Amino acid sequence: MKVNGHSYRTVWMEGNSVFLIDQELLPFQFRILECRNHRETVGAIRNMNVRGAGAIGAAAGYAMAQAFHEQGGNSGYIQAAKSLIESARPTAQNLFYAVQRVFDAGTVGALAAANAIAKEDADACREIGKIGSELIRDGCRLATHCNAGWLAFVDHGSALSPVYAAHASGKKVFVFVDETRPRGQGARLTAWELKNEGIPHAIIPDNAFAFYAAAGKIDLVIVGADRVAANGDTANKIGTLEKAIIAREYGIPFYVAAPVSTFDKQTATGEGIVIEERGEEEVTMQSGPDETGTIRRIRVASPDSPVFNPAFDITPARLITAYITEKGITETIDPGWF
Ligand code: MRU
């Protein structure tokens, strides 16, 4: 995707450094973060400088390649690095898929495997866009949750890729963007992406979705996925489940867009998916620029109350109309993909 006329991918590697678009600073500042070793890349994943299923996967694959480069195949070092990278975030399947694939490639093949994962991610997302855009009719009013745009992958995105393709083909489309508390990936990242692409949209409070659905103003919902279990149950950003329940109540088609690398055949149902619990500061603090442009953090919740902060929820397969993948649109998961 282009930012200020320059084509970017969200994450790439040069020498032994991993470079990534720092999503922590967006939409207020656009900056590239350099991670000089696998520990720094793990830090960037943990700290959510890079986030979103495919982008985490590509960064994790590159972190594994960095580890091979750092120690030239010392097996204790490589094993410790693998465990460290896998501990960065627990829910996104792409992280585990990428680390294992680069680990299996060994010292000689690590970098090529990491580059292949990044390329395949971008290619799959482009295909998801082409395929998914068929679901978007001219004049469609679509809703999405969190950020499953190009920032969440290496390029193009999953849930937003069909929107970009439909817009590029001349269809009119309007996007309701859930703000996505507590971290605001919708309000900050999805809105920024759509504005850059010139796609009409509006940010809505998370709890306004039912209001617009009940008013007949939403035609279609497309969300991304962090992990899809073998039976189709889907982990995605917290709040996805309630959108799916509301969509079912009001007869709105609810699609999950994800590359095949997000499908986890080892986990039978959503009950087996580990849900990350994040720190309370995500809920109690917010950050943004003051009038001088300096980014500041302020408290937005009463101090000294306990906080619960699950990062994801599980939408049961029965609430999902179909999955949009690079292999096609499907209501059931084909084990032949894996
Ligand atoms: O916690 P995040 O921002 O890494 O959340 C993951 C996500 O980006 C979303 O759940 C997204 O909708 C699916 S990943 C493309």
Q: Is the CB of 53 under 6 A from ligand 1?
A: yes
Cα atoms in the Cβ-side hemisphere of radius 13 Å centred on 315? 32
pLDDT of residue 4: 85
Partner residues linked to 35 by β-bridges: 18
Q: What is the DSSP string of 72-83?
A: TT-HHHHHHHHH
In this structure, the residue with its CA closest to atom 12 of ligand 1 is: 224
The closest-lying atom of ligand 1 relative to the alpha carbon of residue 53 is 14
| Buried-exposed string 235-257: b where 16+ CB fall within 10 A, e elsewhere | bbbbbbbbbbebbeeeebebbbb
Q: Is the CB of 224 under 6 A from ligand 1?
A: yes
| Strands (E) located in the chain | 2-3, 6-7, 11-14, 17-21, 32-35, 140-144, 173-178, 201-204, 220-223, 227-229, 234-237, 254-257, 263-264, 285-289, 295-299, 312-315, 322-325, 328-330
156: left (phi over 0), alpha (psi -120 to 50) or beta: left
**C-alpha 23 – ligand 1 centre gap (Å):** 12
Q: Is the CB of 118 under 6 A from ligand 1?
A: no
pLDDT of residue 72: 72
Closest CA to 61 of 93, 22, 31, 24: 93
| Buried-exposed string 271-299: b where 16+ CB fall within 10 A, e elsewhere | eebebeebeeebbbebeeeeeeeeeeeee
Closest CA to 234 of 161, 317, 159, 160: 317
d(CA 236, CA 256): 9
**C-alpha 225 – ligand 1 centre gap (Å):** 7
Whether residue 27 is preceded by a cis peptide bond, meaning omega within 30 degrees of 0, is yes
* Residue 283 C-alpha from the chain's centroid: 20
pLDDT of residue 214: 98
pLDDT of residue 334: 79
> Which residue of the set 121, 155, 226, 313 is catalytic?
226
- Rounded to the nearest 10°, the torsion over CA 215, 221, 227, 228 is 100
pLDDT of residue 337: 72
pLDDT of residue 222: 98
Greatest CA span in the chain, whole angstroms?
A: 61
Q: Is the CB of 26 under 6 A from ligand 1?
A: no
- Look-up: residue for tokens 């501990």? 87
226 is catalytic: yes
User: pLDDT by residue for the chain (338 residues), tens digit each?
Assistant: 889 888 999 999 999 999 999 999 999 999 999 999 999 999 999 999 999 999 999 999 999 999 999 987 688 999 999 999 999 999 999 999 999 999 999 999 999 999 999 999 999 999 999 999 999 999 999 999 999 999 999 999 999 999 999 999 999 999 999 999 999 999 999 999 999 999 999 999 999 999 999 999 999 999 999 999 999 999 999 999 999 999 999 999 999 999 999 999 999 999 999 999 999 999 999 999 999 999 999 999 999 999 999 999 999 999 999 999 999 999 988 777 76
What's the DSSP call for residue 247? Answer: H
What burial class does residue 44 get, using C-beta atoms within 10 Å of its C-beta: 0-12 exposed, 13-18 middle, 19+ buried? buried
- Look-up: residue for tokens 């796609």? 199
**C-alpha 125 – ligand 1 centre gap (Å):** 15
pLDDT of residue 173: 98
d(CA 1, CA 189): 14
Q: Is the CB of 222 under 6 A from ligand 1?
A: no
Q: Is the CB of 93 under 6 A from ligand 1?
A: no
**C-alpha 284 – ligand 1 centre gap (Å):** 20
**Residue type at 46?**
R
Q: What are phi and psi of 61, to 5 degrees?
A: -60, -40
